[in-house]
Amino acid sequence: MAYAISDECISCGACAAGCPVNAISEGDGKFVIDPDTCTECGACAEVCPVGAPAQA
Ligand code: SF4
Ligand code: SF4
């Protein structure tokens, strides 16, 4: 399953900058992951300061 970002997201942008396939974009109040683009590499979960990205 692709990764998804929870409501814990504080919109810091670290995950989007680190995603190797540019699957993450800024949404309404939090960042969002395009599940069709995500390769499940886990990089976003590693850099997130609040643990918002998780495998759905
Ligand atoms: Fe991008 Fe990897 Fe996170 Fe998927 S798991 S959104 S490919 S950084
Ligand atoms: Fe949100 Fe975490 Fe991404 Fe920052 S790194 S934008 S807090 S999901």
**Tens digit of each residue's pLDDT (9 = 90 or more) over 5-47:** 999 999 999 999 999 999 999 999 999 999 999 999 999 999 9
Q: State which fold the 3-55 domain adopts.
A: Alpha-Beta Plaits (3.30.70)
Cα dihedral 41, 44, 50, 54, rounded to 10, equals -40
What's the confidence (pLDDT) of residue 20? 98
Residue 54: predicted pLDDT: 98
Q: Answer whether residue 1 shows pLDDT above 90.
A: no
Q: Work out which ligand 1 atom sits closest to the CA atom of 41.
A: 2
Q: Which pLDDT score, from 0 to 100, does residue 38 have?
A: 98
- CA 32 to ligand 2 centroid distance, Å: 9
Task: Find out whether the beta carbon of 44 lies less than 6 Å from any atom of ligand 1.
Answer: yes
Atom index in ligand 1 nearest the CA of residue 22 equals 1
**What does the pLDDT read at residue 56?**
79
